[in-house]
Amino acid sequence: MATVAALLPISEELVESAYSRGAYPLIQTVLTSWSNLTPVALFDVLMVGVGAAWLVLLWRDLRRRSWPAAVARLALRTVTLAATLYLVFLVSWGFNYRRVPLEAKLRLDYRAVTPAAADRLLRTAVAELNRLHPLRTPDPAAVNPSLPQAFAAVQQRLGATRPAVPGRPKRTLIDPYFRAASVDGMTDPWFLETMTVSTLLPIERPMIVAHEWAHLAGYADEGEANFVGWLTCLDGDAAARYSGWLFLYLESAGAVAGPVRRDIMTRLDAGPRDDLTAIAERVRSQVNPRVSAVGWGIYDQYLKANGIEQGTRSYTDVVRLVLGTSLGVEALPAVSGAAPSPAAAVPSRRTP
């Protein structure tokens, strides 16, 4: 059943109508509302419970059976367990990977996605960071107070009939791996809960939480989740908007040529520059390059196996969505300069 479910071709339109806009919102409301009741990550409970049961059954087989029989039962049990977890994953969240892409629903205008437009976007990010820095008051709370309402409003603009329930940010037993691999957050696909790394700075937290909430809303693609998370931050208070622009500053910088990027960056005030330095220092102080390389390599293959052809490079698609969709352009403040002119598309690359 798992093999058939993985390989059977299903149209994006069917997944969008029957699952992503049909069954999934009901599933998400129930599971996230339930998992929000406890500060414990149910993902941890599942992983520990499954691992413990697997070891106990292995120990029992080794005591009662011959080595060949024990190994055969181990293999059969492992395959069955993996298939079961995969089927539950598909039903609870995974089919969202096969929905209609957001750029198709928002009618991405590729002609607007140009290097010149990316330059203007980076200049806008610099101007917004300089403007918002004196206004933002980073809240150490797990959730920025303005985010839930902003999240619901953004979903409604995207056509959601039942807005997703925001997840309660939780810490996880795999937090040491998060820190070593430079992972800021994760959405549990079985219990639909939000997990974030324990060392996030208050200036980072609104955007990271909003990104994970976008996954809860069914946007499995990382670029789409970045876009929805950024829109959510822009609908929030000054601290949330500042967090969103910090994120988009880094993403848009990766789409601008070196000399131009360096010239624009010199216009960044000392306050935002210090915040960006603090974020970079947080990552540098805890990351293990080998763990990070292996972890992101595995995740890249996971995304490709689930139909995201760009793999981890899909994170940077947020720049295309901002520049090429009406929803993204409408969210931008007034930008000086002429309208974008057709040119080569902004290169897709991952920024550190």
pLDDT in tens, 7-58: 888 999 999 999 999 999 999 999 999 999 999 999 999 999 999 999 999 8
Average pLDDT value over all residues in the chain? 89
The pLDDT of residue 177 is above 50 = yes
pLDDT digits (tens, 9 = 90+) for 290-305: 988 888 788 778 777 7
Tell me the whole-structure pTM to 2 decimals.
Answer: 0.90
User: 20 — phi, psi (to 5°)?
Assistant: -60, -35
Question: Is-contact 310 222, C-beta < 8 A?
Answer: no
Q: For the purposes of burial, counting CB atoms within 10 Å of the CB of 64, is it exposed (0-12), middle (13-18) or buried (19 or more)?
A: exposed
DSSP string, 274-337: HHHHHHHHHHHHH--HHHHHHHHHHHHHHHHHTT-TTGGGGGGHHHHHHHHSHHHHHHSPP--S
Q: What is the pLDDT of residue 315?
A: 63
Alpha carbon of residue 247 to chain centroid: 12
What the block records as the tokens of 9 is 């071709």
From the CB of residue 235, how many other CB atoms can be counted at a distance below 10 Å? 21
Which distant-in-sequence residues (6+ apart) come within 8 Å of 95 by Cβ?
15, 19, 20, 24
Q: How far apart are CA 252 and CA 77, in angstroms?
A: 47
CA 276-281-287 angle, 5° bins: 125
Please name the helix (run of DSSP H) or strand (run of DSSP E) that holds residue 196, with its range, or none.
strand 194-196
Query: What span, in angstroms and rounded, lies between the C-alpha atoms of 144 and 126?
Result: 23
Residue 74 to residue 290: CA distance in whole angstroms? 31
How much is the average pLDDT of 199-216? 96
Residue 345, pLDDT > 50, answer no
Identify the DSSP state of 60.
H
Is 116:340 a contact under the CB 8 Å cutoff?
yes
Determine which of 181-190, 264-273, 282-291, 304-313 has the lowest per-residue pLDDT on average: 304-313
Q: Cβ–Cβ contacts within 10 Å for residue 274, how many?
A: 12
What pLDDT does 312 receive? 62
182 Cβ contact partners less than 8 Å away, ≥ 6 residues apart: 283, 286, 287, 292, 296
Q: Where are the domains of the chain?
A: 2-96, 103-331
> Percent of the chain at pLDDT above 70?
92
> For residue 313, what pLDDT band results from cuts at 50, 70 and 90?
low
Query: Which residue's structure tokens are 């205008």?
Result: 109
Q: Give the alpha-carbon dihedral of 327, 328, 329, 332, to 10 degrees.
A: 120
Burial of 305 (0-12, 13-18, 19+ CB in 10 A): exposed
> Would you state the pLDDT for residue 140?
82
Rg (CA), the chain: 22
Q: Determine what percent of the chain is predicted with pLDDT higher than 90.
A: 68
What distance in Å separates the CA atoms of residue 195 and residue 282, rounded to the nearest whole number? 18
pLDDT at 311 over 70: no
**Per-residue pLDDT tens digits for 87-127:** 999 999 999 999 999 999 999 898 988 888 889 999 999 99
